[in-house]
Amino acid sequence: MAKKTQAKLSPWDIVQIARHAERPNIGDYLRLLCDDFVELHGDRLFGDDRGMIGGFATIGGERVMLIGHRKGRGIDENIEANFGMASPEGYRKAMRLMRLAEKYGLPVVTFVDTPGAYPGSEAEARGQAEAIAHNLEFMSTLKTPIIVVVCGEGGSGGALGIAVGDRILMLQNAVYSVISPEGCASILWRDGTKAALAAETLKITAGSLKELGIIDEIVPEPAGGAHTDPAAAVAAVKKAVLANLAVLKKLPLDKLVEQRYAKFSAMGRF
């Protein structure tokens, strides 16, 4: 049923579903996916970014370090979380937690859901680009399994800052792109009304990205999108995460890192 509905959707339709106000966010995943969760705060350099959340969690009996972009539910929560746009301290917090995961032998599971990193002047002054770039380098050699779940919007470098993983899972109606369709349309055609055309051109849907080898697995959603049945959507994510985790944990760490590095080095070759 879900696959039949999906076939009728345009890329622009999928963008709207990915941005739906009731789509499951990190708070829903923590509530429905985790047996327990202990949040850790701060980057130990500047402060605690509420646009990025992370801590120790248990998923189906598996202890992990869970990290994700935080979008709020309602205007007050969204303002607190800066609408899911993390600042440098958010990415540095994520790296601190991943370093802890490596130290304690815990797999890392990240949830990507952001329109992009916060582009404000204060974020730039505190080293936004450096923080994201450092995360990319750090994650590429982290000696513990990393599973990435693109669950909503995967926007630009803001997404990539926690998206270097051994397995990249993507929900059926999520999007993942170097730029928003509106931004692309404004640059290419100087016309933001051509966002639907840009969405088609960018190949930002799970099906297109699976064909291109950018993601590894598409996680099915209920008909109409994850917001129509959050419990079913989260259950599908849980099943996929645990299945991939079981495979990755069997690999020697050196082999795991070697394969991860090769995976990302091969991207962009046609």
Torsion of CA 57, 176, 2, 25, to 10 degrees: 40
* In-domain check, residue 135: yes
**Is residue 7 very low, low, confident or very high in pLDDT (cuts 50, 70, 90)?**
low
Average pLDDT score over the chain: 93
Confidence of residue 5 (pLDDT cuts 50, 70, 90): very low
pLDDT tier at 192, thresholds 50, 70, 90: confident
* Residue 183 within any structural domain of the chain: yes
Write out pLDDT tens, residues 30-68: 999 999 999 999 999 898 999 999 999 999 999 999 999
Q: Which value, to the nearest 10 degrees, does the dihedral of the CA atoms of residues 161, 208, 173, 26 take?
A: -10
- 195 located within any domain: yes
Number of domains in the chain: 1
Computed on alpha carbons and rounded to an integer, the radius of gyration of the chain in Å comes to 17
Residue 224: give the domain boundaries.
2-260
Structure tokens at 195: 């966002």
Predicted confidence band of residue 74 (pLDDT cuts 50, 70, 90) = confident
Residues near 260 by Cβ (< 8 Å), separated by ≥ 6?
A: 140, 146, 164, 165, 166
- Would 268 be classed as within a structural domain? no
267 pLDDT tier (thresholds 50, 70, 90): confident
The H or E element containing residue 65 is strand 62-69
* Residue 22 half-sphere exposure toward CB, CA atoms < 13 A: 8
266 within a domain of the structure (yes/no): no
CATH number at residue 123: 3.90.226.10
pLDDT higher than 90, residue 163: yes
41 Cβ contact partners less than 8 Å away, ≥ 6 residues apart: 48, 93
Pairing of strands 52-59, 36-39: antiparallel
**Residue 5, class by beta-carbon neighbours within 10 Å (0-12 exposed, 13-18 middle, 19+ buried)?**
middle
pLDDT at 269 over 80: no
